[in-house]
Chain A
């Protein structure tokens, strides 16, 4: 248990569905991240929130929409996804950028399958 909880753990959705992934941390961290992990590819950094403001958006398609209502919660809203979006979606949190660097704590991930 890392202190970062993701729900659901598994999700199967059709291409016309709308669903949301949820991430919650109670570590007092002020930065939260969404990563996408596909087979045989590096982890792709999708979004970064620092102090509830989005600071990074790595050219992610608009069918992925993040939301950070407070420093403890992060959502990833999904709509009209494609089969190639099937992957493991990982949420992480950290204390935030500082001069010395900081480790990230990951959730267990949501295994998403788009049919």
Chain B
């Protein structure tokens, strides 16, 4: 399968703590993206990291990419109750329009 796989499937933390989610994939990629989904709604793009990048930051988000291990991680620092959502990684291939998603991590931030 070309799809990514997130770990853990579910994560529950206290507000203010950091949340780390991992993604593993199987194929060669051009880029890896993280998305967020509130319950029953559409996905919202968070951050894109290219295959030649190792780390990227956006606000409280930090993404790493290890192409040798075919894995990525998403760190949300100083979490807030509003961060409660499902988080998905998606992989894109060079020259292709396809974007393949994993099963997601359900994050619950307890106020």
* Interface residue ranges, A against B (CB under 8 Å): 2, 4, 6, 31, 33, 35, 40-43, 45, 48, 50, 55-56, 88, 90, 92, 94, 96-97, 99-109, 111
Interface size on B, residues (CB 8 A): 28
Q: How far is the CA of A6 from the CA of B103 in the complex (A)?
A: 23
Point out the residues of chain A lying under 8 angstroms from B97, CB to CB.
31, 33, 48, 50, 55-56, 94, 96-97
Interface 9-residue window, one of B11-19, B35-43, B67-75:
B35-43
Point out the residues of chain B lying under 8 angstroms from A88, CB to CB.
40
Q: How far is the CA of A48 from the CA of B92 in the complex (A)?
A: 13
Q: CB distance B48 to A42 under 8 Å?
A: no
The minimal Cβ–Cβ distance linking A96 to chain B, given in whole angstroms, is: 6
Q: CB distance A33 to B40 under 8 Å?
A: no
* Interface residue ranges, B against A (CB under 8 Å): 3-4, 30-31, 33, 35, 40-45, 48, 50, 88, 90, 92, 94-104
Q: How far is the CA of A102 from the CA of B103 in the complex (A)?
A: 21
Nearest-neighbor residue (CB-CB) of A90 within chain B: B42
Q: CB distance A40 to B42 under 8 Å?
A: no
Point out the residues of chain A lying under 8 angstroms from B88, CB to CB.
43
Q: CB distance A100 to B31 under 8 Å?
A: yes
The minimal Cβ–Cβ distance linking A18 to chain B, given in whole angstroms, is: 25
Q: CB distance B50 to A33 under 8 Å?
A: no
Q: CB distance A109 to B31 under 8 Å?
A: no
Q: CB distance B40 to A101 under 8 Å?
A: no
Q: CB distance B102 to A101 under 8 Å?
A: no
Nearest-neighbor residue (CB-CB) of A99 within chain B: B94
Point out the residues of chain B lying under 8 angstroms from A6, CB to CB.
42
5 smallest beta-carbon distances between A and B, as pairs:
A101-B31, A106-B42, A43-B101, A103-B45, A106-B43
Given contacts A48-B98, A94-B99, 16 further A-B contacts (CB under 8 A): A31-B97, A35-B101, A42-B103, A43-B88, A45-B99, A45-B100, A45-B101, A97-B94, A97-B95, A99-B94, A101-B50, A103-B33, A103-B45, A104-B45, A106-B43, A109-B40
Given A42-B3, A101-B30, also A107-B42 (CB < 8 A): yes
